[in-house]
Amino acid sequence: MDLSYRKQWDQYVKELYEKECDGKTVVYWEVKYPFPMSNRDYVYIRQRRELDVEGRKIHVVLARSASVPQFAERPGVIRVNGYKQSLAIESDGKKGSKVFMYYFDNPGGQIPSWLINWAAKNGVPNFLKDMAKACQTFLKKT
C-alpha cells in the first residue's frame, strides 16, 4: 500500500503514484521492461479492507484495471487493460503471515517466449523474494 516505499525496493518501477478521481483511489504504475521491449503501464482502482472473521483480522487488497480519462495513454508505453489482483493477509500468530494472492494481467504486445520462460523460472520467484525482504525491512522501520 505504501507506494513511495515500493519505489525504493522494486527495481522495475519507473513511475508509481496514486490520485483521487471521482471518490476512488486510482493508481498509475509504469513498469520497466528489458530492451528492446516497450514499458507497460497500469491504471487501476485499489481498495483496502480489514475484515474480522471469527476474531481473526484479515487484510484484503483488491485492484482492477480501469479506464480513467485523467490518465491518457503515453506514446511508447503499452497500456495493460486486463489487470486484476486479490490479496488477503493474515498473521500466522507467530512472526509471520499467511498470504493468498490471485494475480492476472495481460501485458499485451508480443513478448518473446524466452522472456516468458525467464519470468516464470526466475522473475516471479525473485520478485517474491524481494517483496518478502521488503516487508521484513518495512516492519523493522515501523
Average pLDDT in the 119-142 region?
A: 80
Considering only CA atoms, which of 127, 107, 106 is closest in space to residue 37?
107
Average pLDDT, the chain: 89
User: Domain 3-112: which topology?
Assistant: Alpha-D-Glucose-1,6-Bisphosphate; Chain A, domain 4 (3.30.530)
Question: Which residue do the cell numbers 500468530 mark?
Answer: 93
70 class by beta-carbon count within 10 Å (0-12 exposed, 13-18 middle, 19+ buried): exposed
The ranges assigned to domains in the chain are 3-112
- Whether the pLDDT of residue 16 is over 90: the answer is yes
- Select, from the ranges 53-57, 60-64, 95-99, 113-117, the one with the highest average predicted confidence (pLDDT): 60-64
Q: What is the pTM of this model?
A: 0.84
Cell of 32: 520497466
